[in-house]
Structure 1
Amino acid sequence: MSGFRTTGLVKRFARGVETVTALDGVDLAVAPGEFVALVGPSGSGKSTLLAVLCGWETPDEGALTLDGDLAGRRPDALGWAELALVPQALGLVADLSLADNVLLPARLRGVDEHDRAGELLAGFGLAHLADRYPHQASLGEQQRVAVARALLLRPAVLLADEPTAHQDRGHADRLLDAVRQRADDGAAVLLATHDELAWARADRVLSMRDGRLTEGAPS
Protein backbone atom coordinates (compact mmCIF):
# COMPACT_ATOMS: atom_id res chain seq x y z
CA MET A 1 0.00 0.00 0.00
CA SER A 2 1.12 3.54 -0.67
CA GLY A 3 0.40 7.05 0.44
CA PHE A 4 1.97 10.41 -0.35
CA ARG A 5 3.02 13.60 1.36
CA THR A 6 4.15 17.06 0.37
CA THR A 7 6.31 19.55 2.22
CA GLY A 8 6.34 23.25 1.46
CA LEU A 9 5.06 22.98 -2.11
CA VAL A 10 5.25 26.26 -4.01
CA LYS A 11 4.16 26.72 -7.61
CA ARG A 12 4.24 30.04 -9.44
CA PHE A 13 2.98 30.98 -12.90
CA ALA A 14 3.71 34.05 -14.98
CA ARG A 15 0.60 35.97 -15.98
CA GLY A 16 1.69 38.79 -18.19
CA VAL A 17 4.05 40.96 -16.15
CA GLU A 18 2.72 39.47 -12.89
CA THR A 19 3.73 36.30 -11.07
CA VAL A 20 0.85 34.33 -9.55
CA THR A 21 1.54 31.98 -6.65
CA ALA A 22 -0.84 29.05 -7.20
CA LEU A 23 0.57 26.95 -4.34
CA ASP A 24 1.96 28.70 -1.30
CA GLY A 25 3.79 26.31 1.02
CA VAL A 26 1.43 23.34 0.87
CA ASP A 27 1.98 20.58 3.44
CA LEU A 28 -0.23 17.57 2.85
CA ALA A 29 -0.24 13.89 3.78
CA VAL A 30 -2.70 11.25 2.56
CA ALA A 31 -2.27 7.78 4.01
CA PRO A 32 -3.15 4.43 2.43
CA GLY A 33 -6.83 3.76 2.95
CA GLU A 34 -7.66 7.45 3.45
CA PHE A 35 -10.16 9.47 1.45
CA VAL A 36 -9.48 13.22 1.64
CA ALA A 37 -11.81 15.82 0.13
CA LEU A 38 -10.15 19.04 -1.04
CA VAL A 39 -12.50 22.00 -1.21
CA GLY A 40 -12.18 25.65 -2.09
CA PRO A 41 -13.29 28.24 -4.64
CA SER A 42 -12.30 28.10 -8.27
CA GLY A 43 -8.79 29.45 -8.73
CA SER A 44 -7.73 28.52 -5.21
CA GLY A 45 -5.03 26.10 -6.36
CA LYS A 46 -6.79 22.72 -6.18
CA SER A 47 -6.19 21.72 -9.80
CA THR A 48 -2.60 22.94 -9.64
CA LEU A 49 -1.99 20.76 -6.59
CA LEU A 50 -3.36 17.70 -8.38
CA ALA A 51 -1.21 18.51 -11.42
CA VAL A 52 1.90 18.57 -9.23
CA LEU A 53 0.91 15.36 -7.46
CA CYS A 54 0.51 13.46 -10.71
CA GLY A 55 3.71 14.83 -12.22
CA TRP A 56 2.17 17.11 -14.83
CA GLU A 57 3.68 20.17 -13.15
CA THR A 58 7.01 20.58 -11.34
CA PRO A 59 6.95 22.61 -8.11
CA ASP A 60 9.21 25.63 -7.82
CA GLU A 61 9.92 24.78 -4.18
CA GLY A 62 9.16 21.96 -1.79
CA ALA A 63 9.01 18.19 -2.12
CA LEU A 64 6.57 15.43 -2.99
CA THR A 65 7.26 12.01 -1.47
CA LEU A 66 5.55 8.75 -2.32
CA ASP A 67 5.52 6.20 0.51
CA GLY A 68 5.14 2.45 0.87
CA ASP A 69 5.27 0.39 -2.33
CA LEU A 70 5.89 3.52 -4.42
CA ALA A 71 8.72 4.92 -2.28
CA GLY A 72 11.51 6.48 -4.30
CA ARG A 73 9.50 6.67 -7.53
CA ARG A 74 8.44 9.76 -9.48
CA PRO A 75 4.74 10.35 -10.19
CA ASP A 76 5.36 10.93 -13.89
CA ALA A 77 6.94 7.46 -14.14
CA LEU A 78 3.95 5.62 -12.68
CA GLY A 79 1.32 3.65 -14.53
CA TRP A 80 -2.44 3.58 -14.04
CA ALA A 81 -2.20 0.75 -11.48
CA GLU A 82 0.01 2.93 -9.29
CA LEU A 83 -1.47 6.41 -9.77
CA ALA A 84 -4.65 7.30 -11.63
CA LEU A 85 -6.12 10.73 -12.28
CA VAL A 86 -9.59 11.92 -13.26
CA PRO A 87 -8.86 15.37 -14.77
CA GLN A 88 -11.50 18.03 -15.26
CA ALA A 89 -10.81 17.91 -19.00
CA LEU A 90 -11.52 14.13 -18.88
CA GLY A 91 -9.01 13.30 -21.63
CA LEU A 92 -11.03 10.62 -23.43
CA VAL A 93 -9.64 9.37 -26.74
CA ALA A 94 -12.04 10.56 -29.44
CA ASP A 95 -11.62 7.61 -31.82
CA LEU A 96 -12.05 4.92 -29.15
CA SER A 97 -15.42 3.68 -27.96
CA LEU A 98 -16.44 4.37 -24.38
CA ALA A 99 -15.63 0.75 -23.47
CA ASP A 100 -12.22 0.98 -25.11
CA ASN A 101 -11.51 4.22 -23.26
CA VAL A 102 -12.19 2.42 -19.98
CA LEU A 103 -9.98 -0.48 -21.09
CA LEU A 104 -7.09 1.71 -22.24
CA PRO A 105 -5.03 1.41 -19.00
CA ALA A 106 -5.29 -2.39 -19.13
CA ARG A 107 -4.21 -2.52 -22.77
CA LEU A 108 -1.24 -0.28 -22.05
CA ARG A 109 -0.28 -2.65 -19.25
CA GLY A 110 -0.90 -5.77 -21.33
CA VAL A 111 -3.56 -7.29 -19.06
CA ASP A 112 -7.14 -8.45 -19.65
CA GLU A 113 -9.68 -6.50 -17.62
CA HIS A 114 -12.75 -6.91 -19.83
CA ASP A 115 -14.86 -8.31 -16.99
CA ARG A 116 -13.97 -5.48 -14.62
CA ALA A 117 -14.56 -2.89 -17.34
CA GLY A 118 -18.00 -4.38 -17.93
CA GLU A 119 -18.78 -4.24 -14.21
CA LEU A 120 -17.73 -0.59 -13.98
CA LEU A 121 -19.72 0.38 -17.05
CA ALA A 122 -22.80 -1.38 -15.71
CA GLY A 123 -22.37 0.08 -12.23
CA PHE A 124 -22.16 3.59 -13.64
CA GLY A 125 -25.17 3.14 -15.93
CA LEU A 126 -23.09 3.04 -19.11
CA ALA A 127 -23.38 -0.56 -20.32
CA HIS A 128 -25.86 0.32 -23.07
CA LEU A 129 -23.46 3.02 -24.34
CA ALA A 130 -20.31 0.89 -24.41
CA ASP A 131 -19.95 0.96 -28.21
CA ARG A 132 -20.56 4.69 -28.58
CA TYR A 133 -17.79 7.23 -29.06
CA PRO A 134 -17.22 10.16 -26.70
CA HIS A 135 -18.90 12.66 -29.00
CA GLN A 136 -22.04 10.50 -28.90
CA ALA A 137 -22.26 10.69 -25.11
CA SER A 138 -23.27 13.49 -22.78
CA LEU A 139 -20.69 15.29 -20.67
CA GLY A 140 -21.95 13.47 -17.58
CA GLU A 141 -21.59 10.10 -19.31
CA GLN A 142 -18.10 11.00 -20.47
CA GLN A 143 -17.19 11.95 -16.91
CA ARG A 144 -18.35 8.57 -15.62
CA VAL A 145 -16.23 6.88 -18.27
CA ALA A 146 -13.20 8.84 -17.04
CA VAL A 147 -13.85 7.70 -13.47
CA ALA A 148 -14.28 4.08 -14.60
CA ARG A 149 -10.99 4.30 -16.52
CA ALA A 150 -9.19 5.58 -13.43
CA LEU A 151 -10.61 2.81 -11.25
CA LEU A 152 -10.03 -0.03 -13.71
CA LEU A 153 -6.63 -1.18 -12.43
CA ARG A 154 -7.38 -0.45 -8.75
CA PRO A 155 -4.72 2.27 -8.38
CA ALA A 156 -2.72 2.69 -5.20
CA VAL A 157 -3.17 6.47 -5.44
CA LEU A 158 -6.33 8.00 -6.88
CA LEU A 159 -6.59 11.71 -7.69
CA ALA A 160 -9.80 13.23 -9.03
CA ASP A 161 -10.68 16.79 -10.00
CA GLU A 162 -14.41 17.58 -9.63
CA PRO A 163 -15.50 14.06 -10.71
CA THR A 164 -19.19 14.68 -9.90
CA ALA A 165 -19.47 18.15 -11.43
CA HIS A 166 -21.73 16.95 -14.27
CA GLN A 167 -23.73 14.32 -12.37
CA ASP A 168 -27.20 14.23 -10.90
CA ARG A 169 -27.46 13.02 -7.32
CA GLY A 170 -28.02 9.37 -8.19
CA HIS A 171 -24.99 9.13 -10.46
CA ALA A 172 -22.88 11.19 -8.05
CA ASP A 173 -23.73 8.73 -5.28
CA ARG A 174 -22.57 5.79 -7.41
CA LEU A 175 -19.31 7.48 -8.32
CA LEU A 176 -18.57 8.48 -4.75
CA ASP A 177 -19.43 5.01 -3.45
CA ALA A 178 -16.87 3.58 -5.88
CA VAL A 179 -14.24 6.11 -4.79
CA ARG A 180 -14.97 5.39 -1.13
CA GLN A 181 -14.60 1.66 -1.81
CA ARG A 182 -11.22 2.21 -3.45
CA ALA A 183 -10.05 3.98 -0.29
CA ASP A 184 -11.50 1.23 1.89
CA ASP A 185 -9.49 -1.25 -0.19
CA GLY A 186 -6.28 0.60 0.68
CA ALA A 187 -5.81 3.41 -1.85
CA ALA A 188 -4.76 6.94 -0.92
CA VAL A 189 -7.52 9.12 -2.39
CA LEU A 190 -7.56 12.89 -2.87
CA LEU A 191 -10.64 14.37 -4.47
CA ALA A 192 -10.97 18.07 -5.33
CA THR A 193 -14.64 18.91 -5.17
CA HIS A 194 -17.40 21.42 -4.52
CA ASP A 195 -19.80 18.55 -3.84
CA GLU A 196 -20.95 18.22 -0.22
CA LEU A 197 -21.92 14.61 -0.97
CA ALA A 198 -18.19 13.93 -1.22
CA TRP A 199 -17.44 15.70 2.04
CA ALA A 200 -19.77 13.32 3.86
CA ARG A 201 -17.91 10.25 2.56
CA ALA A 202 -14.42 11.58 3.18
CA ASP A 203 -12.29 10.82 6.22
CA ARG A 204 -11.02 14.40 6.23
CA VAL A 205 -11.91 17.66 4.53
CA LEU A 206 -9.21 20.21 3.68
CA SER A 207 -9.82 23.73 2.43
CA MET A 208 -7.69 25.61 -0.06
CA ARG A 209 -7.71 29.36 -0.61
CA ASP A 210 -5.10 31.49 -2.37
CA GLY A 211 -2.80 28.47 -2.62
CA ARG A 212 -2.81 27.75 1.10
CA LEU A 213 -4.18 24.60 2.73
CA THR A 214 -6.05 24.41 6.04
CA GLU A 215 -7.87 21.65 7.93
CA GLY A 216 -11.65 21.49 7.79
CA ALA A 217 -14.44 22.55 5.49
CA PRO A 218 -14.92 26.23 4.67
CA SER A 219 -17.18 28.09 7.10
Structure 2
Amino acid sequence: MTVVVENLTKRFRRGSETVTALDDVSLVLAPGELTVAAGPSGSGKTTLLSIMAGFETADAGTVRFDSPLPTGSDPLAMTWRDLAFVPQALALLDEMSVRENVDLPALLDPPAAAERGEPADDLLARFEIGHLADRYPSMTSGGEQQRTAVARALRLHPPLLLGDEPTGHQDRGRIELVIGILRAHAYAGNVVLISSHDEAVISAADRVLTLADGRLMSDKRTGVRR
Protein backbone atom coordinates (compact mmCIF):
# COMPACT_ATOMS: atom_id res chain seq x y z
CA MET A 1 0.00 0.00 0.00
CA THR A 2 1.14 3.54 -0.83
CA VAL A 3 -0.64 6.52 0.71
CA VAL A 4 -0.91 9.69 -1.36
CA VAL A 5 -1.80 12.90 0.49
CA GLU A 6 -2.61 15.81 -1.81
CA ASN A 7 -3.11 19.43 -0.82
CA LEU A 8 -4.71 18.77 2.57
CA THR A 9 -6.11 21.87 4.22
CA LYS A 10 -8.02 21.96 7.50
CA ARG A 11 -9.29 24.96 9.47
CA PHE A 12 -11.02 25.20 12.83
CA ARG A 13 -13.06 27.91 14.46
CA ARG A 14 -11.79 29.01 17.86
CA GLY A 15 -14.25 31.59 19.07
CA SER A 16 -14.11 34.40 16.54
CA GLU A 17 -10.74 33.20 15.23
CA THR A 18 -10.05 30.81 12.35
CA VAL A 19 -7.10 28.52 12.99
CA THR A 20 -5.37 26.75 10.10
CA ALA A 21 -4.38 23.29 11.33
CA LEU A 22 -3.13 22.08 7.93
CA ASP A 23 -2.19 24.30 5.03
CA ASP A 24 -1.89 22.62 1.60
CA VAL A 25 0.08 19.57 2.79
CA SER A 26 1.12 16.99 0.18
CA LEU A 27 3.25 13.87 0.62
CA VAL A 28 3.54 10.23 -0.39
CA LEU A 29 4.10 7.41 2.09
CA ALA A 30 5.49 4.12 0.81
CA PRO A 31 6.06 0.82 2.62
CA GLY A 32 9.38 0.04 4.25
CA GLU A 33 10.15 3.25 6.12
CA LEU A 34 9.62 4.41 9.68
CA THR A 35 8.37 7.95 9.10
CA VAL A 36 8.03 10.52 11.88
CA ALA A 37 5.93 13.68 11.66
CA ALA A 38 7.84 16.12 13.84
CA GLY A 39 6.98 19.54 15.15
CA PRO A 40 5.81 21.35 18.27
CA SER A 41 2.32 21.19 19.71
CA GLY A 42 -0.10 22.88 17.34
CA SER A 43 2.00 22.20 14.24
CA GLY A 44 -0.67 19.98 12.63
CA LYS A 45 0.66 16.50 13.40
CA THR A 46 -2.48 15.16 15.09
CA THR A 47 -4.77 16.68 12.47
CA LEU A 48 -2.77 15.07 9.65
CA LEU A 49 -2.96 11.65 11.28
CA SER A 50 -6.65 12.03 12.12
CA ILE A 51 -7.56 12.89 8.54
CA MET A 52 -5.48 10.02 7.17
CA ALA A 53 -7.27 7.67 9.58
CA GLY A 54 -10.69 8.96 8.53
CA PHE A 55 -11.56 10.44 11.93
CA GLU A 56 -11.68 13.98 10.57
CA THR A 57 -12.49 15.41 7.16
CA ALA A 58 -10.35 17.93 5.33
CA ASP A 59 -11.69 21.23 4.05
CA ALA A 60 -9.72 20.62 0.88
CA GLY A 61 -7.44 17.95 -0.54
CA THR A 62 -7.53 14.16 -0.62
CA VAL A 63 -6.00 11.02 0.87
CA ARG A 64 -5.70 8.14 -1.61
CA PHE A 65 -4.52 4.54 -1.34
CA ASP A 66 -2.85 3.07 -4.41
CA SER A 67 -3.92 -0.56 -3.87
CA PRO A 68 -7.23 -2.19 -3.02
CA LEU A 69 -7.92 -2.46 0.67
CA PRO A 70 -8.75 -5.87 2.12
CA THR A 71 -12.23 -4.62 3.02
CA GLY A 72 -12.87 -2.76 -0.22
CA SER A 73 -12.00 0.46 -2.00
CA ASP A 74 -13.68 2.92 0.39
CA PRO A 75 -11.23 4.30 2.99
CA LEU A 76 -14.15 4.97 5.32
CA ALA A 77 -14.75 1.21 5.45
CA MET A 78 -11.22 0.49 6.66
CA THR A 79 -10.94 -1.89 9.60
CA TRP A 80 -8.14 -3.05 11.92
CA ARG A 81 -6.88 -5.34 9.13
CA ASP A 82 -6.33 -2.27 6.91
CA LEU A 83 -5.40 0.49 9.32
CA ALA A 84 -4.41 0.65 12.98
CA PHE A 85 -4.35 3.94 14.84
CA VAL A 86 -2.75 4.62 18.22
CA PRO A 87 -4.33 7.80 19.62
CA GLN A 88 -2.83 9.88 22.40
CA ALA A 89 -5.90 9.04 24.51
CA LEU A 90 -5.16 5.30 23.92
CA ALA A 91 -8.87 4.29 23.98
CA LEU A 92 -8.37 1.09 25.95
CA LEU A 93 -11.50 -0.61 27.27
CA ASP A 94 -11.48 -0.61 31.08
CA GLU A 95 -13.81 -3.60 31.33
CA MET A 96 -11.40 -5.79 29.36
CA SER A 97 -8.06 -7.16 30.51
CA VAL A 98 -4.77 -6.12 28.94
CA ARG A 99 -4.74 -9.35 26.92
CA GLU A 100 -8.35 -8.83 25.78
CA ASN A 101 -7.59 -5.25 24.72
CA VAL A 102 -4.68 -6.42 22.61
CA ASP A 103 -6.83 -9.18 21.15
CA LEU A 104 -9.79 -6.89 20.37
CA PRO A 105 -9.05 -6.57 16.62
CA ALA A 106 -8.99 -10.37 16.34
CA LEU A 107 -12.28 -10.65 18.24
CA LEU A 108 -13.87 -8.20 15.81
CA ASP A 109 -12.44 -9.92 12.73
CA PRO A 110 -11.82 -13.65 13.34
CA PRO A 111 -11.10 -14.44 9.65
CA ALA A 112 -8.31 -11.87 9.57
CA ALA A 113 -6.93 -13.21 12.84
CA ALA A 114 -6.85 -16.72 11.39
CA GLU A 115 -4.84 -15.69 8.36
CA ARG A 116 -2.52 -12.93 9.56
CA GLY A 117 -1.09 -11.11 12.50
CA GLU A 118 0.60 -12.10 15.72
CA PRO A 119 -1.00 -13.80 18.75
CA ALA A 120 -1.81 -11.47 21.62
CA ASP A 121 0.41 -13.28 24.10
CA ASP A 122 3.39 -13.04 21.74
CA LEU A 123 2.84 -9.30 21.39
CA LEU A 124 2.51 -8.89 25.15
CA ALA A 125 5.86 -10.60 25.57
CA ARG A 126 7.53 -8.44 22.93
CA PHE A 127 6.27 -5.28 24.64
CA GLU A 128 7.36 -6.57 28.07
CA ILE A 129 3.84 -6.58 29.50
CA GLY A 130 3.13 -10.31 29.48
CA HIS A 131 3.00 -10.35 33.28
CA LEU A 132 0.11 -7.87 33.11
CA ALA A 133 -2.06 -9.90 30.73
CA ASP A 134 -4.88 -10.54 33.19
CA ARG A 135 -4.94 -7.10 34.78
CA TYR A 136 -7.28 -4.31 33.76
CA PRO A 137 -5.70 -1.24 32.14
CA SER A 138 -6.50 0.89 35.19
CA MET A 139 -4.22 -1.41 37.21
CA THR A 140 -1.21 -0.63 35.00
CA SER A 141 0.99 2.43 34.49
CA GLY A 142 0.61 5.00 31.74
CA GLY A 143 3.60 3.57 29.90
CA GLU A 144 2.23 0.04 30.16
CA GLN A 145 -1.14 1.19 28.87
CA GLN A 146 0.52 2.87 25.93
CA ARG A 147 2.44 -0.28 25.04
CA THR A 148 -0.85 -2.19 25.28
CA ALA A 149 -2.36 0.21 22.72
CA VAL A 150 0.58 -0.19 20.34
CA ALA A 151 0.44 -3.98 20.70
CA ARG A 152 -3.29 -3.88 19.90
CA ALA A 153 -2.53 -1.86 16.76
CA LEU A 154 -0.18 -4.59 15.53
CA ARG A 155 -2.49 -7.53 16.27
CA LEU A 156 -3.68 -8.00 12.64
CA HIS A 157 -0.42 -6.83 11.02
CA PRO A 158 -2.06 -3.85 9.25
CA PRO A 159 -0.50 -2.45 6.06
CA LEU A 160 -0.97 1.08 7.45
CA LEU A 161 -0.15 2.00 11.05
CA LEU A 162 -0.52 5.52 12.40
CA GLY A 163 0.55 6.55 15.89
CA ASP A 164 0.03 9.90 17.61
CA GLU A 165 2.93 10.26 20.06
CA PRO A 166 3.02 6.47 20.69
CA THR A 167 6.12 6.74 22.92
CA GLY A 168 5.06 9.78 24.94
CA HIS A 169 4.69 7.84 28.21
CA GLN A 170 7.81 5.68 27.87
CA ASP A 171 11.16 5.96 29.58
CA ARG A 172 14.26 6.03 27.36
CA GLY A 173 14.78 2.28 27.25
CA ARG A 174 11.16 1.56 26.47
CA ILE A 175 11.17 4.21 23.73
CA GLU A 176 13.86 2.15 22.01
CA LEU A 177 11.78 -0.99 22.51
CA VAL A 178 8.63 0.51 20.95
CA ILE A 179 10.48 2.19 18.10
CA GLY A 180 12.33 -1.04 17.33
CA ILE A 181 9.06 -2.95 17.04
CA LEU A 182 7.45 -0.26 14.87
CA ARG A 183 10.55 -0.14 12.67
CA ALA A 184 10.38 -3.91 12.19
CA HIS A 185 6.73 -3.58 11.15
CA ALA A 186 7.68 -0.94 8.57
CA TYR A 187 10.58 -3.02 7.25
CA ALA A 188 8.21 -5.97 6.81
CA GLY A 189 6.61 -3.98 3.98
CA ASN A 190 4.10 -1.75 5.73
CA VAL A 191 3.48 1.99 5.95
CA VAL A 192 4.23 3.38 9.41
CA LEU A 193 3.75 7.06 10.28
CA ILE A 194 4.02 8.31 13.84
CA SER A 195 4.13 11.79 15.32
CA SER A 196 6.61 12.95 17.92
CA HIS A 197 8.51 15.94 19.24
CA ASP A 198 11.01 13.68 21.06
CA GLU A 199 14.50 13.95 19.59
CA ALA A 200 15.21 10.30 20.46
CA VAL A 201 12.28 9.23 18.26
CA ILE A 202 13.07 11.69 15.48
CA SER A 203 16.71 10.58 15.33
CA ALA A 204 15.59 6.94 14.96
CA ALA A 205 13.38 7.64 11.92
CA ASP A 206 14.16 6.76 8.33
CA ARG A 207 12.25 9.81 7.20
CA VAL A 208 11.25 13.00 9.02
CA LEU A 209 8.36 15.25 8.02
CA THR A 210 8.73 18.58 9.81
CA LEU A 211 5.53 20.58 10.29
CA ALA A 212 5.07 24.10 11.62
CA ASP A 213 1.85 26.12 11.75
CA GLY A 214 0.12 23.51 9.61
CA ARG A 215 2.69 23.55 6.82
CA LEU A 216 5.07 20.84 5.72
CA MET A 217 8.37 22.65 6.09
CA SER A 218 10.72 19.80 5.16
CA ASP A 219 10.70 16.14 4.14
CA LYS A 220 14.04 14.41 4.69
CA ARG A 221 15.31 10.86 4.58
CA THR A 222 17.89 10.34 7.27
CA GLY A 223 19.84 7.30 6.09
CA VAL A 224 19.56 5.58 9.48
CA ARG A 225 17.96 2.37 8.22
CA ARG A 226 19.25 -0.59 10.19
In the superposition, the TM-score normalised over structure 2's length comes to 0.90
Give the whole-Å Cα distance in 1 for the aligned partners of 2:119 and 2:149: 15
Residue 176 of structure 2: aligned partner:
173
Give the whole-Å Cα distance in 1 for the aligned partners of 2:104 and 2:173: 26
Give the whole-Å Cα distance in 1 for the aligned partners of 2:62 and 2:74: 11
Residue 82 of structure 1: aligned partner:
82
Deviates more, 1:101-110 or 1:189-198: 189-198
Residue 125 of structure 2: aligned partner:
122
Residue 23 of structure 2: aligned partner:
24
Give the whole-Å Cα distance in 2 for the aligned partners of 1:37 and 1:30: 11
Aligned length: 216
Residue 214 of structure 1: aligned partner:
217
Cα distance, 1:76 vs structure 2: 2.7
Q: Which runs of 5+ in 2 are unaligned?
A: 221-226
- Tell me, yes or no, if the aligned pair for 1:53 and 1:75 is still in contact at 8 Å: no
Give the whole-Å Cα distance in 2 for the aligned partners of 1:132 and 1:69: 38
CA RMSD of aligned residues (A): 1.8
Cα distance, 1:89 vs structure 2: 0.5
Give the whole-Å Cα distance in 1 for the aligned partners of 2:117 and 2:77: 25
- Tell me, yes or no, if the aligned pair for 2:102 and 2:149 is still in contact at 8 Å: yes
- 1:101-135 deviations in Å (ceiling 9; x for gaps): 00000110013589621111111111111111111
- 1:161-197 deviations in Å (ceiling 9; x for gaps): 1111110111111111110011101111111012223
Give the whole-Å Cα distance in 1 for the aligned partners of 2:105 and 2:175: 23
Is 1:133 matched up with 2:153? no
1:74 to 1:209, Cα distance in 2 relative to 1, 3 A: farther
Give the whole-Å Cα distance in 1 for the aligned partners of 2:163 and 2:142: 16
1:114 to 1:19, Cα distance in 2 relative to 1, 3 A: closer
- Tell me, yes or no, if the aligned pair for 2:118 and 2:155 is still in contact at 8 Å: no
Give the whole-Å Cα distance in 1 for the aligned partners of 2:147 and 2:10: 30
Give the whole-Å Cα distance in 2 for the aligned partners of 1:68 and 1:156: 11
Equivalent residue in structure 2 for 1:198, among 190, 197, 201: 201
Give the whole-Å Cα distance in 2 for the aligned partners of 1:9 and 1:188: 19
1:54 to 1:114, Cα distance in 2 relative to 1, 3 A: closer
The one-letter code sitting in structure 2 at the alignment partner of 1:97 is S
1:115 to 1:24, Cα distance in 2 relative to 1, 3 A: closer
- Tell me, yes or no, if the aligned pair for 1:103 and 1:114 is still in contact at 8 Å: no
Please give the residue correspondences for 1:8-87 in structure 2 after superposition, counting only pairs within 5 Å.
8-70=7-69, 73-87=73-87
Give the whole-Å Cα distance in 2 for the aligned partners of 1:143 and 1:76: 25
Give the whole-Å Cα distance in 1 for the aligned partners of 2:67 and 2:32: 12
Point out 4+ residue stretches in structure 1 off by more than 4 angstroms: 112-115
Residue 223 of structure 2: aligned partner:
none
Residue 7 of structure 1: aligned partner:
6
- Tell me, yes or no, if the aligned pair for 2:118 and 2:157 is still in contact at 8 Å: no
The one-letter code sitting in structure 1 at the alignment partner of 2:69 is L
Residue 147 of structure 1: aligned partner:
150
